[in-house]
A and B are shown apart, each in its own frame.
Chain A
Amino acid sequence: MNVLTPRELPELFAALAAPGARVLAGGTDLLVRLRADLRQGRKVPSSLVRLDGLEELCGVAREPDGALRLGAATTHAGLLAHPLVRVELPVLAAALADLGSPPIRNMGTLGGNLCTASPAGDTLPPLMVLGASVELASAAGVRRMALADFITGPGRTRLAPGEIVTAVLAPSAREFAVRHFEKVGRRSALAVAVVSLAALLRLDARGKAVEARLAWGSVGPTVWRCPEAEAALLGQRPTLTALKRAAAVVRARVQPIDDLRASAAYRSEVAGNLLLRLAAL
């Protein structure tokens, strides 16, 4: 297996055009899968093309429209250490702080987390409530699309052959007074989310919600939104009573599955319960 480290995008696209080439971002998902493939005698890529030699894919910058541009090959630890991410995207920072473990955060990248498109991907619910979009590039050019459109199913995205994610564009959440992320895993580190919730509430002067954005991880094939629960919170102060009403809507609508980590019943219950935490913020 060849491992290539292109320094320029054209070089990268040329490398990816070779048959059997695969993108290697942080490798925290890919290498685990390759090991399993090797162990089972399955075919593995002929070359891995690293992204970390491309400076333009790394770092955080301000876009003209005020959104933050997060380089897709920036590591989770790199994002977490960035003051703009901490101040303007606290829901994302909270998710990054809970992702994997220090070594995983030092290797894994934001773009990798999106392209893996796991139903349990820790950065997905916060980026969804932030209304993030992705920038994609290939030899054919650059395009942008909403993250919600980019991820189409578990492990599935709209990434075309030879195309990579170059950046994530995330609008600031500063206008939202209530910002919350919580991940429920089976342990405190190195755990796949059993349920996660990202929540943003914009409040008016009287403390009533004028906008509610809620997104859950690990309760469906992709991030799950619940417009009915969001609507139930509008015009309300985020009191326990109001949140309990919205939680009941969530429990009635969410349709998670059973797996090794938790039953569907537990996930439904907790998907609703997590909303109540907003009352204690």
Chain B
Amino acid sequence: MPKRHAPSLPPSPPRADALAKALGAERYAFDARPEGCLWAGAFRPGALFGPEGGMAHGRVRGVDTTAALAVPGVLRVLTAADVPGANLQGIVHKDQPVLCGEVLRHAGDPVALVLAESPEALRAGLAALRADIEPLPGVFDPEEALKKGAPQVHAGRKGGNLLLGAVIEKGDARAALKSVPVLVRGEFSTPVQEHAFLETPCGVAQLLPDGALQMTVSTQSPFRDRFEIGHALGLNPFKIRVRAPHLGGGFGGKDGATVQCLLGLAALKAGGRPVRMVWDREESILAGYKRHAVRLRYALGAERDGTLVALSCRVVFDTGAYAHLGSEVMELSMEHAAGPYRIPHVRVVGRCVYTNNPIAGAFRGFGVAQVSPAFESLMDELAEKLGLDPLALRRKNALRHGDENCSGVRLTGSAQLTDCLDAVAAHPLWTTREAWRAGAPAFTRRGVGLAAVFNGMGYGRGLADMAIAKLELTEAGGFLVYNGVPDMGQGNSSAFALLASQELNQPPSAIGLVQPDTEQCLPSGSSSAGRTTYTYGNALLKACAAMRVKLLSRAAMALFCDNLEGMELLPGMVRHRPTGKSLPLAAMAGFLSRDDRVCVAEALMPVAQNPPDTGKSFFIGFPHLLFAYAAHLARIEVDELTGRVRVCDYLAVTDGGRVLHRQGFDQQAQGGVAQGLGYALLEDFRLAEGRILTGDLSTYLIPTALDLPDIASEAVEGCEETGPHGLKGVGEVGLNGPAPAVGAALYEATGARLRDLPFTPERVLTALRKKPRRRRT
């Protein structure tokens, strides 16, 4: 068993970025606007005519650049013919052109790139461009796309529109489901979700006289970006320097190239001048990646005492026009499809399908947010069928340390879902639920729902989840942490500063941070997968330990001590305790060479040993070993007259191992819940034949402060022994709970199980009409 009680740390200091962000002093990629820079913008003709016109699939016959080039201030108009390299980008599958020369595969595909002296000239140039596009029949439904004779998104591709078909299997679910005493089934759907980060994709790039390309960009993956850009544009990736300052949000939508390849191309043609590209909100929604829409068909069987026996699940993923991370997101969906439960017989079948819809990709809760509403809804239905308390049913079946999970992986890491459920069970929001429900005002029904969720950490098997930390003793006697994983706002760099301050026994003010820069920092993977603080944190702890030994031994020499005994690292100095002799760090920095002032160390996330003999079609990522867990509770009010749902109270109890920084931990839980409540209730991404009908934030609605309750966040005390000071990543798990918790609360309030997200007032009112009488429990 993991240790339950780790020694507690001193109270957390404010986040390292708090002051700069509160003062507006933090410089984002958006703020990079070098003097004399040019402006680049993409021409996306498929969306030219607003929601009423446009097209999502067409053959590019030509681009007429004459009028655009005649606009004063327009310098260049580039098309596919100007792209020097493969003109293809994609993290795993390279199938997305930087500029489309032959086929438009979705409404946001670009066919030209304009370089102009000013934003006004750029706008005029883009408005003057004309493209000759021959419409092609499109395919907009993933199941239609798999039918014989369906239009092909990538003509001539082996496998047609099926990007990947995969199976994860354990035991014999088909046979077991035939003989289980109790069976529940359901079909579900989850929608596209837009990241809606505050800072839209943006950056600046410049080609230097020595041929190096440098870029400051809002990105989650600066080290990988070099290879994306290099491949697409035919450049040596090691002559590309990418800097990633703090991001104004990412949530997965900046994991992969957004502006990068376009900006690189623009810089190559800008005569050495810097070029800036900023997508406005509409372009960000049009061309950016989305959460995959998924259809799910489930069957879950149990014994009469509630012991889960077998689960079968089929998922169909709409990955849109390009592969991006479609297979990888589906992998996570399938691996989490059976929920955080022990089930001996499991069969999960997935198909990830190309369509002419917008490109889907990574989004916080990467595939897991799509399956959690389904497995939790079936758990509730099962509890009702068996007359069991839904919390008790979950507790009975919850995965624990040492169990084999539904993919057949032995859980050697911490797994404290039962503690999360116990904390919910003991919470006043749960214990007072009957009285609260009975106090509903006129025309109002109340419901209380819960959800048990989890989320894998790291890249999974097949792709080393590694980070390399670099730590420098500065000339002034402070320390600099060279962060290799972008901080999207989740606070990982603050966590690094805190770890360094604790390990080196220095005040927070002595620790500086260098944000990711491929020239100064070392490759540490992407900011994603709940891995940032875990993997880089482990590397940093090693670097700190090495630094400590280095400083003690260098000081021992200067203080004429024979060994390290009695040497201690104190704020600003090393002291020899027995004699009281000390040496300031600034003095030491003066006589150490730069090389000797730096410590570098790496860490690798462990993977499952003896991986199960299934999931063979996944190139990378299957299976995961470590998971964060959470139990969520939502108390809601449903208005009988309008179907509107108000979330009154919310509780998230999270197992993230040991908590390093309580404020950061709570912010991750609360942010995930906020985004999850938007997914559950509001965010209704609408498409018609591949054209986006909700193309801005006045039609695509995300929650405002008034739409969210106070979100109580609690932590169960745990310890993941492989994590830095026992922590696990908690960035994603919080997003997976709200949809199932609200769904369960809605059932209690209305008597109807809603299986299609989002739970709009219209769907709720329809459900109320079908179940007009108040359900008594």
Residues on A facing B (Cβ under 8 Å): 32, 38-41, 101, 184, 186-192, 194-195, 260, 262-263, 266, 269-270, 273-274, 276-277, 279-280
A270 to B642: give the CA distance in the assembly, Å. 6
Q: Are A186 and B761 in contact (CB under 8 A)?
A: yes
Interface of B is mostly: loop
Chain A contacts for B682, CB-based, 8 A: 186-187
Query: Which A-chain residue is minimally distant from B703 (CB atoms)?
Result: A187
**Does any Cβ of A come within 8 Å of B134's Cβ?**
no
20 A-B residue pairings within 8 Å (CB atoms): A32-B698, A39-B280, A41-B123, A41-B128, A184-B644, A187-B682, A187-B704, A189-B707, A195-B642, A262-B762, A266-B643, A266-B761, A270-B643, A276-B443, A276-B641, A277-B443, A277-B641, A280-B441, A280-B442, A280-B443
**Does any Cβ of A come within 8 Å of B765's Cβ?**
yes
Chain B contacts for A191, CB-based, 8 A: 701
- Interface size of B by CB at 8 A reads 32
Query: Which A-chain residue is minimally distant from B641 (CB atoms)?
Result: A273
Q: Are A39 and B123 in contact (CB under 8 A)?
A: yes
A189 to B128: give the CA distance in the assembly, Å. 38
Query: Which B-chain residue is minimally distant from A276 (CB atoms)?
Result: B641
Q: Are A184 and B443 in contact (CB under 8 A)?
A: no
A279 to B641: give the CA distance in the assembly, Å. 12
**Does any Cβ of A come within 8 Å of B409's Cβ?**
no
Chain B contacts for A192, CB-based, 8 A: 698
A40 to B124: give the CA distance in the assembly, Å. 9
Q: For window 290-311 of chain B, which residues contact chain A by CB distance below 8 Å? A: none
A129 to B282: give the CA distance in the assembly, Å. 38
A151 to B282: give the CA distance in the assembly, Å. 32
Query: Which B-chain residue is minimally distant from A265 (CB atoms)?
Result: B762
Chain B contacts for A269, CB-based, 8 A: 765, 769
Chain B contacts for A195, CB-based, 8 A: 642
Pick the residue among A101, A187, A277 that contacts B701 (CB under 8 A): A187
Chain B contacts for A189, CB-based, 8 A: 704-707
Chain A contacts for B762, CB-based, 8 A: 262-263, 266
**Does any Cβ of A come within 8 Å of B693's Cβ?**
yes
Query: Which B-chain residue is minimally distant from A194 (CB atoms)?
Result: B761
| Distance between B84 CB and nearest chain A CB, rounded to angstroms | 30
**Does any Cβ of A come within 8 Å of B699's Cβ?**
yes
A279 to B760: give the CA distance in the assembly, Å. 25
A41-B641 in contact given A189-B706, A260-B694, A266-B761 (Cβ < 8 Å): no
Q: Are A260 and B641 in contact (CB under 8 A)?
A: no
**Does any Cβ of A come within 8 Å of B395's Cβ?**
no
Query: Which B-chain residue is minimally distant from A35 (CB atoms)?
Result: B280
Q: Are B642 and A273 in contact (CB under 8 A)?
A: yes
Q: Which of A195, A277, A279 has the most CB of B within 10 A?
A: A277
| Distance between A251 CB and nearest chain B CB, rounded to angstroms | 12
New contact pairs (18) apart from A101-B704, A187-B706, A273-B641, CB-CB < 8 Å: A32-B698, A39-B282, A41-B124, A186-B701, A187-B704, A188-B704, A188-B707, A189-B706, A194-B761, A260-B693, A262-B761, A263-B762, A266-B761, A266-B762, A276-B443, A276-B641, A277-B641, A280-B443
Residues on B facing A (Cβ under 8 Å): 123-124, 126-128, 280, 282, 441-443, 640-644, 682, 686, 693-694, 698-699, 701, 703-707, 760-762, 765, 769
Pick the residue among B442, B642, B698, B769 that contacts A184 (CB under 8 A): B642
Chain B contacts for A260, CB-based, 8 A: 686, 693-694, 699
| Distance between B42 CB and nearest chain A CB, rounded to angstroms | 14
Question: Ordered nearest first, which 4 A-B pairs have the shortest CB separation?
Answer: A41-B127, A188-B706, A273-B641, A280-B442
A274 to B643: give the CA distance in the assembly, Å. 11
Chain A contacts for B441, CB-based, 8 A: 280
| Distance between B686 CB and nearest chain A CB, rounded to angstroms | 6
Chain B contacts for A194, CB-based, 8 A: 761
Chain A contacts for B706, CB-based, 8 A: 187-189
| Distance between A94 CB and nearest chain B CB, rounded to angstroms | 15
Chain A contacts for B123, CB-based, 8 A: 38-39, 41
| Distance between B198 CB and nearest chain A CB, rounded to angstroms | 15
Q: Are A184 and B761 in contact (CB under 8 A)?
A: yes
Q: Are B707 and A187 in contact (CB under 8 A)?
A: yes
Chain B contacts for A187, CB-based, 8 A: 682, 701, 703-704, 706-707
| Distance between B392 CB and nearest chain A CB, rounded to angstroms | 35
| Distance between A187 CB and nearest chain B CB, rounded to angstroms | 5
Query: Which B-chain residue is minimally distant from A42 (CB atoms)?
Result: B127
Q: Are B704 and A190 in contact (CB under 8 A)?
A: yes
Q: Are A274 and B641 in contact (CB under 8 A)?
A: yes
A250 to B634: give the CA distance in the assembly, Å. 35
Chain A contacts for B760, CB-based, 8 A: 186
| Distance between B708 CB and nearest chain A CB, rounded to angstroms | 9
Chain B contacts for A279, CB-based, 8 A: 442
A187 to B694: give the CA distance in the assembly, Å. 15
| Distance between B209 CB and nearest chain A CB, rounded to angstroms | 36
Query: Which A-chain residue is minimally distant from B769 (CB atoms)?
Result: A269
| Distance between A142 CB and nearest chain B CB, rounded to angstroms | 36
Chain A contacts for B705, CB-based, 8 A: 189
Query: Which B-chain residue is minimally distant from A188 (CB atoms)?
Result: B706
A81 to B322: give the CA distance in the assembly, Å. 53
Chain A contacts for B694, CB-based, 8 A: 260
Chain B contacts for A190, CB-based, 8 A: 698, 704
Query: Which B-chain residue is minimally distant from A192 (CB atoms)?
Result: B698
Query: Which B-chain residue is minimally distant from A261 (CB atoms)?
Result: B699
Chain B contacts for A274, CB-based, 8 A: 641-642
Q: Are B686 and A266 in contact (CB under 8 A)?
A: no
Chain B contacts for A184, CB-based, 8 A: 642, 644, 761
Query: Which A-chain residue is minimally distant from B441 (CB atoms)?
Result: A280
Chain B contacts for A40, CB-based, 8 A: 127
Chain B contacts for A273, CB-based, 8 A: 640-642
| Distance between A48 CB and nearest chain B CB, rounded to angstroms | 17
A260 to B642: give the CA distance in the assembly, Å. 17
A270-B701 in contact given A41-B128, A184-B761 (Cβ < 8 Å): no
Pick the residue among A38, A270, A280 that contacts B765 (CB under 8 A): A270
A270 to B760: give the CA distance in the assembly, Å. 14
Query: Which A-chain residue is minimally distant from B124 (CB atoms)?
Result: A41
A188 to B761: give the CA distance in the assembly, Å. 13
A40 to B52: give the CA distance in the assembly, Å. 14
Q: Are B704 and A270 in contact (CB under 8 A)?
A: no
Chain A contacts for B769, CB-based, 8 A: 269
A280 to B441: give the CA distance in the assembly, Å. 9
Query: Which A-chain residue is minimally distant from B766 (CB atoms)?
Result: A266
Chain B contacts for A277, CB-based, 8 A: 443, 641
Chain A contacts for B282, CB-based, 8 A: 39
A270 to B764: give the CA distance in the assembly, Å. 12
A266 to B124: give the CA distance in the assembly, Å. 42
A192 to B682: give the CA distance in the assembly, Å. 14
